[in-house]
Amino acid sequence: MVALTPISRTEPSFYVSVTAAFGAFFGIFIGTGQGSLIAGVLGGAILMAVLALVLTKVIKNETVSRWAITVLIALGGLALAGIPGLLIGIFFGWFFGFLIFWLYEGRYRAKIPPYLTPMQVLWHFAFRTICGAIFVFLITPILVVMPLSFNAQDFFTFTPEMLRFDPAGYSLKHYEDFFTNDAWQDAMKNSLQIAPVATLLSVAFGTLAAIGLSQPHVPFRRAIMAVLISPMIVPLIISAAGMYFFYSRVGLQGTYIGVVLAHAALGIPFVIITVTATLVGFDNSLTRAAANMGANPVTTFFRVQMPLILPGVISGGLFAFITSFDEVVVVLFVGSAGQKTLPWQMFIGLREQISPTILAVATILVIISICLLTVVELLRRRSERLRGMSPA
Amino acid sequence: MALSALYPFFTSLSEQTCGDTMTDAPTSQTAASSAAEARISDAAHTGPMLAADGTPLKKSLNRALRLQKMRALALIAPLLIFVLVTFIAPIADMLFRSVENEIVSETLPKTTSMLAEWDAQGTDIPDEAVFEALYDDMFFAQEAKLHTRLGSRLNYELTGVSSLFRKSGRRVEDMGEVFQDQFEDLDDFWKTGENWNSFMASDDWLAQMDGWKKADGAQPRFEMRDGIAQTLPATAAAYARFADFIQYEDGDNLYKEDPWAIMYSALHKDLTGENDLASYTGPATEQLTAAAAEAAGFETVNYTEAFKDIDDDWHNLEVWQTIKVYSPTLTNGYFLNAIDMQKSVDGVEMRPENQQIYGILFWRTMVMSIAITASCIILGYPVAWILANLPTRQANLLLILVLLPFWTSLLVRTSAWKVMLQQQGVINDTLVWLGLVATDDRLALINNQTGTIIAMTHILLPFMILPLYSVMQTIQPSYLRAAKSLGATNWTAFWRVYFPQSIPGIGAGSILVFILAIGYYITPEIVGGTSGTFISNRIAYHISSSLNWGLGAALGAILLAAVLLLYYAYDKIVGIDNVKLG
Q: Dump pLDDT digits (tens) for B499-558.
A: 999 988 898 889 889 998 998 999 998 888 888 889 999 999 999 888 888 999 999 999
A142 interfacial to chain B (CB closer than 8 Å): yes
Helices (H), B51-122: 57-83, 89-97, 102-107, 109-115
Task: Say how many residues make up chain B.
Answer: 582
Q: Which residues of B touch A160 (CB under 8 A)?
A: none
A148 interfacial to chain B (CB closer than 8 Å): yes
Measured between alpha carbons, how far is residue A347 from residues A365, B259, B546 in Å?
14, 53, 20
Q: Give the mean pLDDT of B55-75.
A: 89
> Rounded to whole angstroms, how far apart are CA atoms A375 and A387?
18
Q: Please say whether the beta carbons of A78 and A86 come within 8 A.
A: yes
Instruction: Name residues 97-116 of chain A within 8 A of B (Cβ).
Output: none
> Rounded to whole angstroms, how far apart are CA atoms B428 and B423?
6
What are the extents of the domains in chain B?
Answer: 104-327, 358-578
In order, the DSSP letters of B148-180 are HHHHHHHHTTSTTHHHHHHHHHHHHHHHHHHHH
> Rounded to whole angstroms, how far apart are CA atoms B460 and B371?
12
Instruction: Name residues 4-43 of chain B within 8 A of A (Cβ).
Output: 4-6, 8-9, 18, 21-22, 25-26, 29
What kind and span of H or E run contains B342?
A: strand B341-344
Beta bridge partners of B50: B56
Q: Looking at residue B5, what is its pLDDT?
A: 41
B70 interfacial to chain A (CB closer than 8 Å): no
Q: Please say whether the beta carbons of A198 and A263 come within 8 A.
A: yes
Partner-chain residue, chosen from A141, A205, A217, that has the shortest CB–CB distance to B413:
A141
Query: What's the mean pLDDT when you consider all of chain A?
Result: 86
DSSP-derived letter for residue B329 is S
Verify whether the Cβ–Cβ distance B5 to A269 is below 8 Å: yes
In order, the DSSP letters of A29-93 are HHHHHHT-HHHHHHHHHHHHHHHHHIIIIII--HHHHHHHHHHHHHHHHHHHHHHHHHHHHHHHH
From B262, B226, B266, select the one nearest B246 (Cα to Cα). Answer: B262
Q: Please say whether the beta carbons of B44 and B50 come within 8 A.
A: yes
CA dihedral A55, A60, A63, A67 (to 10 degrees): -30
User: Can you give the pTM of this predicted structure?
Assistant: 0.81
3-state helix vs strand vs coil in chain A, percent to 5: 80, 0, 20
Verify whether the Cβ–Cβ distance B26 to A145 is below 8 Å: no
Beta bridge partners of B100: B330
> Rounded to whole angstroms, how far apart are CA atoms B219 and B254?
9
Residue A388 binned pLDDT confidence (cut-offs 50, 70, 90) = low
Beta bridge partners of B563: none
> Rounded to whole angstroms, how far apart are CA atoms A294 and B123?
87
Residue B203 binned pLDDT confidence (cut-offs 50, 70, 90) = confident
> Rounded to whole angstroms, how far apart are CA atoms B561 and B137?
39
A374 interfacial to chain B (CB closer than 8 Å): no
From A229, A264, A234, A230, select the one nearest A334 (Cα to Cα). Answer: A264
B576 interfacial to chain A (CB closer than 8 Å): yes
Verify whether the Cβ–Cβ distance B419 to A144 is below 8 Å: yes
A388 interfacial to chain B (CB closer than 8 Å): no
Query: What's the mean pLDDT when you consider all of chain B?
Result: 81
Distance from CA of A380 to the nearest CA of B (A): 10
Q: Is the pLDDT of residue B28 over 80?
A: no
Contacts of B415 (CB under 8 A, 6+ apart): A145, A346, A350, A358, A359, A362, B526
Residue B580 binned pLDDT confidence (cut-offs 50, 70, 90) = very low
Verify whether the Cβ–Cβ distance B86 to A139 is below 8 Å: no
Residue B43 binned pLDDT confidence (cut-offs 50, 70, 90) = low
Partner-chain residue, chosen from B93, B540, B582, that has the shortest CB–CB distance to A237:
B540
Collapse the DSSP code of A1 into the 3-class scheme (helix H, G, I; strand E, B; otherwise coil) and give the result.
Answer: coil
Burial code (b: 16+ CB inside 10 Å, e: under 16) for A65-95 equals bbebbbebbbebbbeebeebbbbbbbebbbe
DSSP-derived letter for residue B125 is P
How confident is the model over B127-175, as pLDDT tens digits? 888 888 888 888 888 888 888 888 888 888 888 888 888 888 878 877 7
> Rounded to whole angstroms, how far apart are CA atoms B176 and B429?
72
Partner-chain residue, chosen from A33, A144, A214, that has the shortest CB–CB distance to B434:
A33
Identify the closest residue of chain B to A130 by CA–CA distance: B382
Q: Which residues of B touch A155 (CB under 8 A)?
A: 424
Q: Is the pLDDT of residue A121 over 50?
A: yes
Q: Looking at residue B576, what is its pLDDT?
A: 58
How confident is the model over A294-344, as pLDDT tens digits? 999 889 888 888 888 888 888 889 889 988 988 999 999 999 888 899 999
For B433-447, the three-class secondary structure string (H helix, E strand, C coil) is HHCCCCHHHCCCCCC
The interface predicted TM-score (ipTM) is 0.86
A276 interfacial to chain B (CB closer than 8 Å): yes
Identify the closest residue of chain A to B92 by CA–CA distance: A242
> Rounded to whole angstroms, how far apart are CA atoms A297 and B116?
66
Instruction: Name residues 186-225 of chain B within 8 A of A (Cβ).
Output: none
- The CATH fold assigned to B358-578 is MetI-like fold (1.10.3720)
Verify whether the Cβ–Cβ distance B560 to A237 is below 8 Å: no
Verify whether the Cβ–Cβ distance A227 to B83 is below 8 Å: yes
Q: Looking at residue B11, what is its pLDDT?
A: 45
Partner-chain residue, chosen from A232, A362, A372, that has the shortest CB–CB distance to B412:
A362
From B12, B37, B309, B323, select the one nearest B153 (Cα to Cα). Answer: B323
Size of interface A-B (CB pairs under 8 A): 324
> Rounded to whole angstroms, how far apart are CA atoms A145 and A163?
15
Q: Which residues of B touch A206 (CB under 8 A)?
A: 79
Residue B486 binned pLDDT confidence (cut-offs 50, 70, 90) = very high
Distance from CA of B406 to the nearest CA of A (A): 9
B72 interfacial to chain A (CB closer than 8 Å): yes
Instruction: Name residues 10-49 of chain A within 8 A of B (Cβ).
Output: 29, 31-35
Residue B1 binned pLDDT confidence (cut-offs 50, 70, 90) = very low
Q: Looking at residue B7, what is its pLDDT?
A: 45
Q: Please say whether the beta carbons of B405 and A141 come within 8 A.
A: yes
Identify the closest residue of chain A to B82 by CA–CA distance: A265
B518 interfacial to chain A (CB closer than 8 Å): yes
> Rounded to whole angstroms, how far apart are CA atoms B178 and B176?
5
How confident is the model over B262-283, as pLDDT tens digits? 888 888 888 787 777 777 777 7
Most B CBs within 10 Å, among A138, A207, A227, A373, to test the B interface: A138
Question: How many Cα atoms within 13 Å fall on the side-chain side of residue A84?
Answer: 13
How confident is the model over A179-203, as pLDDT tens digits? 998 889 999 999 999 999 999 999 9
> Rounded to whole angstroms, how far apart are CA atoms B50 and B307?
87
Q: Looking at residue B544, what is its pLDDT?
A: 87
B370 interfacial to chain A (CB closer than 8 Å): no
